[in-house]
Structure 1
Amino acid sequence: MRLPFLTKISLVALLLFSQTLFAHQPVSNGVDMADQLRADGKIWVVVAVVAAVFAGIIIYLVRLDRQIGKLEKEVKEKSSVVSH
């Protein structure tokens, strides 16, 4: 996808402008929610949920890759049978 020159310039200008705006945001000395979760011991629940979601995504991608591999083999076999 090719963008016109003016669109590229405007996107670059927007990116540079947004960087300067974010640089002026005040920085706090920590995240209050994370500190509270850590103090209550509930941070491990958050870590477990994130790990479970990540593991589920990895398992899904592996299964999907295997299924696509099987379909590619079938297509390749059918195309070799038809061409001969």
Structure 2
Amino acid sequence: MSRLEKGDAVFATTTIVNDGSVPGYPEQHVFAEAGSMGMLVNTGHLEEDPNQEVLLVAFTDAAGNPALVTCLPDEVSGEPVATH
């Protein structure tokens, strides 16, 4: 992935669902379908594995609700994603 910066548009490469780690949303809640655009809010690393980069992305779900979601680098792209 090319180096992304805060504020960059990113696109979900897969359907992103709540794995139970986002409070206030039911497990399996869909935050973004593949191809959906979000905005990169911040980057960081897992405390348990400093080599694992994580990305904090703001998505708006199908109901229009905004949510901050932690994604792995392979779950988003800086380029639009074909969804066919």
TM range, smaller chain: under 0.3
Higher strand share: 2
TM-score, scaled relative to structure 1: 0.15
Larger radius of gyration: 1
Q: Tell me: higher relative CO, structure 1 or 2? Use CA pairs within 8 A at least 6 residues apart.
A: 2
